[in-house]
Amino acid sequence: MARPKAEAAYYLVQFRDISDAAAFVAALSQFLSYPESIKYLRPSAPAEIWSYIFGTAEDIELIEVYLNATGIAAMKDSFDELPLFKTVRGDQLPLDCISLIGSGGVEAWGLEEAQWHLLSES
């Protein structure tokens, strides 16, 4: 099972609403699926997007989305207004966080698909 790199910097974006988190992840997946965005998916340093949900699918308290340096660069290129984020190390991410986007490539997700992926492990 893939894990975030322990010593790498990840950028944490928090959401209280699953719809907002899904919109954010869907927008990033769509941006990364464009042919012009191939630079963010290079095998040597692909964009990584991870998530973790606090609570259950029925009672979500908080959604955390983590992006590596390449993922944050993609976020900065794809959004006019950036959400607030802070830096954490890979070994600070929850052990059971899930990989949404990584070295395996990316598909352009709509809101429902992004929400399904976010909730797939909760």
Could you tell me the residue range of the domain that residue 92 belongs to?
Answer: 16-119
Question: What total of structural domains would you count in the chain?
Answer: 1
Is the pLDDT confidence value at 122 over 70?
Answer: no
Q: Burial-class residue 114 by CB neighbours within 10 Å (0-12, 13-18, 19+).
A: buried
pLDDT in tens, 62-83: 999 999 999 999 999 998 887 8
Residue 3 inside a domain? The answer is no
Q: Would residue 4 count as lying in a domain?
A: no
Q: Is the pLDDT of residue 1 over 80?
A: no
Instruction: Name the token pair of 2.
Output: 């893939």
Residue 38 has pLDDT above 80, yes or no: yes
Mean pLDDT of 12-25: 96
The tens digit of pLDDT for each residue in 79-116 reads 888 788 899 999 999 999 999 998 777 899 999 999 99
Alpha-carbon distances, residue 3 vs 12, 15, 54, 90, 117 (angstroms): 16, 22, 18, 9, 17
Beta strands in 3-122, from DSSP E residues, in sequence order: 9-15, 49-55, 60-67, 86-89, 98-101
Q: Does residue 113 form part of some domain?
A: yes
